[in-house]
Structure 1
């Protein structure tokens, strides 16, 4: 599996949880900070279909997860 792109912010508990899960399972990802980058924030909102929730994860196959649970992450990574 290629690298996941995670749009999030340091203050976001769901973002911290998702990053911890990805690290724990050794899933490569790139983090994009939407708190300090207005263009990244706008892109995350666009990718999420207008939702302003974070984290927004873009999977290598183009699928998008918004505020995924750990189960959602596991399903996405294993392809279930």
Structure 2
């Protein structure tokens, strides 16, 4: 299972979520949509044309789940659900 967070360097909610995930010991891959046009296109494709971050993607053997601006509680619950 892989957790990816699409972010920007200036996004306050992104910084908060990353900090909370780190405190919880949850590892993730970070992709800055300002530095990666393909990532920006993906974020827009799952957010009705908007570059809304943080956009969180969990890849598991059962597929991909995308959440926009989730809380750390939501991310933890999602990870528990897809790993069960």
Instruction: Report the TM-score when normalising by structure 1.
Output: 0.82
* Structure index of larger Rg: 2
**Structure 2: stretches of 5+ with no match in the other structure:** none
Corresponding residue for 1:15?
14
SS in 1 for 2:59: coil
Whole-Å separation in 1 of the counterparts to 2:46 and 2:16: 21
C-alpha deviation, 1:73, in angstroms: 1.8
Which residue number in structure 2 is paired with residue 67 of structure 1? 69
1: CA distance, partners of 2:31 / 2:49? 18
- Structure 2 equivalent of residue 37 of structure 1: 36
1:55 aligns with 54
1:1-22: CA deviation from partner (whole Å, max 9, x where unpaired): x220111111101111111121
Using structure 2 for the length normalisation, give the TM-score.
Answer: 0.79
Which protein has the bigger strand share?
2
